[in-house]
Amino acid sequence: MNMEMGKQMNLDLRVKDIMTREVVVADVGTRLPEVGRLLIEHDIGSVVVVEDDKPVGIVTDRDLARKVVANNKKPDELTLREVMTAPLITIHPDATVLEAIDNMLKEKVRKLPVVEDGRLVGIITERDVLSVSAEINEIMRLLVEGRGCPEPERSDEGFVQGICEACGQFSENLQLVNGRLLCESCRE
């Protein structure tokens, strides 16, 4: 298999190929101190909230800081139902990683629970995406340069979506500068 063909095939990298399969979940009625213990015990930043074994929301450590601590609420008086983010934005395991990136950008989220037939099967996070970002950026570079690949969809200003090669952040405004895809901040 030649290099171009291998890179073309990587455009089909699926969510199921890079997602985390073991997801920590908690019932909607779980009190926040228990959620805090789960986050610490598993060294994670979020739990998927379930009701009758169906994923219905998500709570991140950021949610706890913004909705509980910043509002001076008492954690032992609150349940996940009261602080979860819902409705839950999910993705199918057969979706491409590029579709996951697009969804994260559009929805302004860093984690997408992976759901198949109403069942939670994994989670894909910004970190999972960054683990394959070098590969994806190489594919984006090929697309931008037009080397045997179709031209990517560009905005009216000529920008593409992806991960900035300088700072590693998602951006809808990447532009090729000296052979690297850079966001607006890193182009300055």
Phi, psi of 32, rounded to the nearest 5 degrees: -60, -35
Question: Given a cut of 60, is residue 4 above it in pLDDT?
Answer: no
Instruction: Break the chain into its structural domains and give their ranges.
Output: 15-125, 132-187
Convert the chain into a string of H (helix), E (strand) and C (coil).
CCHHHHHHHHCCCEHHHHCECCCCEEECCCEHHHHHHHHHHHCCCEEEEEECCEEEEEEEHHHHHHHHHCCCCCHHHCEHHHHCECCCCCECCCCEHHHHHHHHHHHCCCEEEEEECCEEEEEEEHHHHHHCHHHHHHHHHHHHHCCCCCCCCCCCCCCEEEECCCCCCEEEEEEEECCEEECHHHHC
Q: Any idea which architecture 15-125 has in CATH?
A: Roll (3.10)
pLDDT one-digit tens code per residue, 68-111 = 998 999 999 999 999 999 999 999 999 998 899 889 989 989 99
**Longest Cα–Cα distance in the chain:** 60
pTM of the model: 0.66
- 57 and 86 Cβ atoms separated by less than 8 Å: yes
pLDDT one-digit tens code per residue, 113-167 = 999 999 999 999 988 887 776 666 666 666 666 544 444 445 545 567 777 888 8
Nearest to 160 by CA among 147, 7, 148, 145: 145
